Amino acid sequence: MKKFTKILAFAATACLAAALVAGCSGAPEKQELAAQPAPAEQQTPEADAPAETTKLIVGYDNSYPPYGFIGDDGNPTGLDLDLAAAVCDKLGWEFEATAINWDAKDALINQGSINCIWNGFTMEGRENDYTFSEPYMLNEQVVVVKAGSDIADLADLAGKTVVTQVDSAALDVLDGDQKELADTFAALDQLTDYNNAFMQLESGMVDAVACDLSIAAYQMAANPGAYTQLPTSLSSEHYAVGFKKGDTELAKQVTDALKELYADGTVQKLCEKYADYGVTVDNWVLFE
């Protein structure tokens, strides 16, 4: 009996060992199957994920009417800000207007705080520093004096004090192509914005203001009879939207949208909105 009991115990042990061996040898096979990726048709393609909306962060000078300024209601307004908002609406983008210090614009666009400069921004002479949209508006650099001044043309500026904005297109011209003229001035002062420049002109602290044609038109429209624009301009140029160097796709999308906005009449309406500020659609140069 003892011998038979030992045989039964041995047999039971052998069966248990065999079961354990069989169980262990099957486990890796199941784990390997579990690790296999799901069939391609069951996977969610990346294309199904919602596309990220482009956000256009426009850097602008909030004391640069009629292109960018603070309206009577305390909100940002101006032709360029309205154009930017219309572009974003057409393309389904988010729009954000960010008031900047004009002389900090390069640092801001390079670090990504803004992704375009859209504020009566002259492209000539800056082509190596930015990627631009196609030009959309004709502009000139002109000189404005007080009505009744003895300054009738550019030659009469000799010995006079002229003021312009820091890092402006007018300053670039007077430091470049018109340097010989600027060398005849008693002084060429620089201020942070044109509103202060025209206040100094009105008070007699300076004799003339060198500025964009649009700025001159705005100041003369806002102050009838107060100022006179000299008949000879300093230069002729164009406004465009400036982007970080190499951002060609964004520039192209904005250019194409502006062409469409001209075609559908939006540009005409916006220029009429700012007609009292001296804006005219006759200076628009971007078409289909």
CB 286 within 8 A of CB 258: yes
CB 140 within 8 A of CB 255: no
In the predicted model, what is the mean pLDDT of the chain?
86
Question: Does one domain contain both 154 and 217?
Answer: yes
Backbone angles phi, psi at 208, to 5 degrees: -160, 155
Split at pLDDT 50, 70, 90, the class of 38 is very low
Looking at the DSSP assignment, which residues form a beta bridge with residue 164? 190
Question: Does one domain contain both 244 and 132?
Answer: yes
* 13 occurs within a structural domain: no
State how many domains the chain has.
2
* Residue 84, pLDDT above cutoff 80: yes
Q: Which residue has the tokens 């705080």?
A: 113
Task: Quote the radius of gyration of the chain (alpha carbons, Å).
Answer: 34
Give 15-30 pLDDT, tens digit per residue: 434 443 344 334 434 3
Say how far apart CA 158 and CA 270 lie, in whole Å.
39
151: domain CATH number? 3.40.190.10
Question: Does one domain contain both 132 and 246?
Answer: yes
CB 107 within 8 A of CB 229: no
| Structural tokens at position 6 | 């030992």
The predicted structure's pLDDT at residue 118: 97
Residue type at position 72: D
Mean pLDDT of 131-157: 97
* 111 occurs within a structural domain: yes
Which residue range(s) make up the domain with 182?
Answer: 140-237
* 59 occurs within a structural domain: yes
Give 201-215 pLDDT, tens digit per residue: 999 999 999 999 989
The predicted structure's pLDDT at residue 120: 93
Question: Does one domain contain both 256 and 227?
Answer: no
Asked whether the CA dihedral 183, 189, 194, 197 is positive or negative, the reply is negative
Specify the higher pLDDT residue, 242 or 277: 242
